[in-house]
Amino acid sequence: MGMFDVKYTFDNLIRTTSAGLEVSSFVQTKDAIIQRYKEIFGNDIDVESTTADGQYIMMIALMLYNGYNGLYYLSQNLDPTGAQGVFLDRLCGFNNVFRRNAEPSSAYVYVKYTGGAPSYTSNVEGSNTQEITCIDRLENYGNGKKV
C-alpha cells in the first residue's frame, strides 16, 4: 500500500505506525480540511483557491503541513542511520563517539579531449593551453579556498 492510498481525514493527518511517523501530503491535508469545512458549512460553500474561504483553507493546510513535516524530520533524525548534522553529533555523543570536523580534500582528474577535430588549442594569456578549473559543490577549488 502506497503513501497516497491512505484516505486521510481531519482526525488522522499525522499518525504513528509500526514503521514510524506517517504524515499526509499537502494535497491530502488540504482535501481533509475542505471536507471538514463542508461538513460544518455545507457542501454548497465555495472553497476555490480564488475565494477568501479557499485562501484561508490553503493557509491552514500549509501551516499544518509544515508543522507535521517538522515533526517528521525530527523523528527521522532520531535514527542514527538517517540522522544528519547536529542530530547525528548528539546521537554519537551518547556513545562517547565524536565526529571530526570536515577537512578539504583533493582529487586528481584526467581530462581527455573527445572533440571531432584532431586537436584543440585555445590562447590563454598568450600561451597555447586551456586552463581548466574544477570546483566542487561547495564552490571550493582543489586547494580548499572559496571562489
Strand-pair partners of 17: 20
How many CB atoms sit inside 10 A of residue 147's CB? Answer: 8
Q: CA 24, CA 47: separation in Å to the nearest integer? A: 20
Structural domain contains residue 82: yes
Q: Determine the pLDDT at residue 70.
A: 92
Structural domain contains residue 137: no
Structural domain contains residue 24: yes
Cα-based angle 38, 42, 44 (whole degrees, multiple of 5): 95
Q: CA 92, CA 84: separation in Å to the nearest integer? A: 11
Which residues span the domain enclosing 76?
A: 3-94
- Predicted model pTM: 0.58
Q: Determine the pLDDT at residue 1.
A: 44
Structural domain contains residue 77: yes
Structural domain contains residue 128: no
Number of domains in the chain: 1
Run means of pLDDT, 10 residues per run, the chain, 147 residues: 65 85 90 91 90 93 94 88 86 85 74 64 62 64 51
HSE-up of residue 84 (Cα within 13 Å, Cβ side): 4
Alpha-helical segments (H) within the chain: 26-41, 52-76, 85-94
Q: CA 21, CA 45: separation in Å to the nearest integer? A: 33
Structural domain contains residue 64: yes
Structural domain contains residue 28: yes
